[in-house]
Amino acid sequence: MSENRKPLVYIISAPSGSGKSTLTNELLKLVPNLVFSISYTTRAPRGSEQNGKHYFFVSRDEFERMIQAGELLEHACVHGNFYGTGRQFLRDAGREGNDLLLDIDVQGAAQIKRNLTDAISIFVLPPDRKTLEWRLRNRSEDTEDVIQPRLLAASREIAEYDKYDYVLINDRLEESADRLVSIVLSERLRRDQKTFSEQETAILQRAERLRLANMKQKVQRILASFSDPQGSADS
């Protein structure tokens, strides 16, 4: 990738517990010239999280200073804590010839899309409510009084899926990672506007199946599982 080319910006959003972090880690291993924008947050570190690797952990005063100085591309308050994306990551990606990956919530994604209208947005979903609840309980980070509000928030966040370009249902990790790679590579192929090989055409076709218009029926079943007491999309 040549330097000083305008970077593609990929936004990934998902309800907490959807496996988004695991997917993004796999994506970064598999796709070259893709860098991750580490968010700033006012919340405390969880578990083994490290400053500068998982997040930049800052005080609320420092976060507010960054807002006033115009240093953030977007910012939002989620579950009582502030999160934001630094502008510097976008400048650095362009200078170094990389594309940029943002892991942000639906509020932040909407801000990015207003400011960067050509950003590519991807919404990651659990297969159903029951799976999401199982993942939240088994990651052993949250107490019950945190899990229940997260499940309620998830149903509201999933309802915003139609504001995204692509929808990815994270059922099996390896297959989901492959689909995510297809989305990223397909957008690069479209940017390059060249004649596509058979392999490249297959990548474009896989990504096309994940576009919003082709995923709406599947998402409706997932949404229904959040109003079903059994929490299963198959019930």
Q: What is the mean pLDDT of residues 124-129?
A: 90
CA distances from 147 to 60, 82, 128 (A): 24, 19, 15
Its pTM stands at 0.86
The C-alpha atoms of residue 139 and residue 151 are separated, in whole angstroms, by 14
What was the pLDDT predicted at 35?
A: 96
CATH class of 9-225: alpha beta
How far apart are alpha carbons 128 and 135 in whole angstroms?
11
Q: d(Cα 125, Cα 223) in Å, to the nearest integer?
A: 10
- Domain boundaries in the chain? 9-225
- Give 128-155 pLDDT, tens digit per residue: 888 888 888 776 666 777 777 778 778 8
Report the pLDDT value the prediction gives residue 5, as an integer from 0 to 100: 72
Pairing verdict, β 34-37 and 99-103:
parallel
pLDDT of residue 40 exceeding 80 = yes
Question: What residue has token string 């947005």?
Answer: 121
Mean pLDDT of 68-81: 91
Average pLDDT of span 157-163: 90
Tell which residue, 12, 34, 28, 66, has the closest CA to residue 188: 34
Query: Could you tell me the two tokens for 161?
Result: 């899926």
Name the residue among 119, 115, 84 with its Cα closest to residue 99: 119
* Band (158; pLDDT cuts 50, 70, 90): confident
pLDDT of residue 44: 93
The DSSP 8-state label assigned to residue 7 in this structure reads P
Average pLDDT, the chain: 89
* Type of residue found at 228: D
234 pLDDT more than 90: no
- Average pLDDT value for residue range 69-84: 91
pLDDT, tens digit, 9 for 90 and up, residues 169-225: 999 989 999 999 999 999 999 998 789 999 999 999 999 999 999 999 999 989 888
- DSSP letter at 116 equals -
